């Protein structure tokens, strides 16, 4: 039996582990269970907030704290303890107002610890909410507090994403960070909230200095995490920029069991040693 006791595997959810159906493939579940039974440490790093990610906790049974909010939250689901948490600077209010004015077609959703607030409902925001299947409240921006925000999620048609990225980059807004996290999703996050920062912090807390850390992701918001990892995986469907950062690009897409293939690769590397 392969010994994975000194190996950590951290995977993104949407587009990496999760197919379009959002139902984890049985081959991925079997591979993850095999990895854990052989001593491996498995967890997730996702842009999803707690309410959107918790449906997968019982399915995946991670045996290490999970990284949520694109790195803004590290949470131990077994102990029900927060290891790390950060919130947006109050300047996010002004940035949101400016983006809503400049892009009248943009959808806006603000995530607070108590739930999701849809600030501007559009076709793209509706599409995202339909994907999450989570309860939400429609509110005007001035009806919610200006602080305690986990993140702001903007939605816009893909052909305008570059315009949105260029606009935010030109504004010199340096008290938050911005990252695209999907074909039509763009996020405003706390400056220190990245999956890479959170994974590094989790590694320190869990004393993983001597461990081999493998990470898998498909989109821009995964890049820093992949750069930190010892082994970086990208599924076949990943963005080209992510593939360039990966040590191994799986032949499989997220629809075909990319994580199962990644675990098979790790196992072969272990046996070679």
pLDDT for residue 231: 97
272 pLDDT higher than 60: no
Measured in degrees and rounded to the nearest 5, phi and psi for residue 218 equal -125, -10
Confidence of residue 271 (pLDDT cuts 50, 70, 90): low
Say whether pLDDT at 192 is over 90. no
Q: With a cut of 70, say whether residue 254 has pLDDT above it.
A: yes
Instruction: Report the CATH number of the 91-190 domain.
Output: 3.30.1240.10
CA distances from 127 to 85, 106, 131, 184 (A): 28, 13, 6, 10
The predicted structure's pLDDT at residue 17: 98
Right CATH for 7-85+193-272 from 3.30.43.10, 1.10.150.240, 3.20.20.80, 3.40.50.1000: 3.40.50.1000
Q: Please give the sequence-ordered ranges of beta strands (E in DSSP) within 20-114, or none if there are none.
A: 41-44, 66-68, 73-76, 81-85, 107-112
Mean of pLDDT over the chain = 95
Q: 40-49: per-residue pLDDT in tens?
A: 999 999 999 9
What DSSP element (H or E) covers 149? Answer: none
Count of beta carbons in the 10 Å neighbourhood of residue 173: 18
pLDDT tens, position by position, 47-79: 999 989 999 999 999 999 999 999 999 999 999
CB contact at 8 A, 252 and 236: yes
- At residue 8, the pLDDT reads 98
CA-to-CA distance for 172 and 176, rounded, in angstroms?
A: 10
Domain ranges of the chain: 7-85+193-272, 91-190
Residues 206/198, Cβ–Cβ less than 8 Å:
no
Q: Could you tell me the CA-to-CA distances from 63 to 8, 57, 103, 144 in Å, in that order?
A: 10, 10, 42, 36
pTM for the structure as a whole = 0.88
Does residue 1 register a pLDDT over 90?
no
Q: For residues 36 and 39, give the distance between their C-alpha atoms in angstroms, rounded to a whole number.
A: 5
Better pLDDT: 272 or 65: 65
- Going from the C-alpha of 22 to that of each of 133, 156, 158, the distances in angstroms are 11, 21, 21
What is the Cα–Cα distance from 219 to 100, expressed in whole angstroms? 25
Segment 81-124, tens digit of pLDDT: 999 999 999 999 999 999 999 999 999 999 999 889 999 999 99
Which pLDDT value is given to residue 223? 96
Under the banding of pLDDT at 50, 70 and 90, the label for residue 26 is: very high
Q: Could you give the percent of the chain with pLDDT greater than 90? A: 90
270 has a pLDDT exceeding 80? no
Task: For residue range 200-234, list pLDDT tens digits in order.
Answer: 999 999 999 999 999 999 999 999 999 999 999 99
**Strand 151-155 vs strand 107-112: parallel, antiparallel, or unpaired?**
antiparallel
């Amino acid at each position: 039996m392969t010994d994975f006791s000194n190996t950590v595997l951290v995977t993104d959810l949407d587009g990496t582990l999760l197919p379009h159906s959002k139902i984890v493939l049985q081959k991925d579940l079997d591979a993850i269970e095999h990895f854990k039974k052989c001593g491996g440490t498995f967890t997730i790093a996702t842009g999803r907030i707690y309410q959107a990610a918790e449906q997968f906790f019982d399915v995946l049974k991670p045996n290490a704290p999970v990284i949520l909010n694109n790195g803004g939250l590290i949470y131990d689901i077994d102990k029900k303890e927060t290891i790390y948490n950060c919130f947006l600077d109050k300047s996010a209010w002004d940035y949101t107002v400016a983006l809503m004015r400049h892009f009248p077609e943009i959808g806006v959703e603000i995530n607070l610890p108590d739930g999701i607030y849809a600030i501007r409902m559009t076709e793209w925001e509706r599409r995202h909410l339909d994907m999450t299947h989570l309860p939400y409240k429609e509110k005007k921006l001035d009806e919610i507090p200006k602080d305690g925000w986990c993140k702001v999620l903007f939605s816009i048609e893909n052909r305008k994403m570059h315009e949105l990225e260029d606009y935010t980059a030109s504004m010199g807004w340096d008290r938050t960070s911005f990252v695209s996290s999907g074909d039509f999703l763009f996020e405003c996050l706390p400056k220190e909230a990245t999956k890479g920062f959170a994974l590094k912090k989790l590694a320190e807390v869990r004393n993983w200095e001597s461990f081999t850390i493998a990470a898998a992701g498909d989109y821009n918001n995964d890049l820093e995490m992949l750069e930190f990892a010892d082994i970086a995986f990208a599924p076949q469907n990943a963005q080209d920029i992510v593939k360039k950062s990966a040590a191994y690009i799986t032949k499989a897409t997220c629809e075909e069991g990319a994580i199962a293939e990644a675990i098979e690769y790790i196992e072969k590397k272990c046996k070679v040693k």
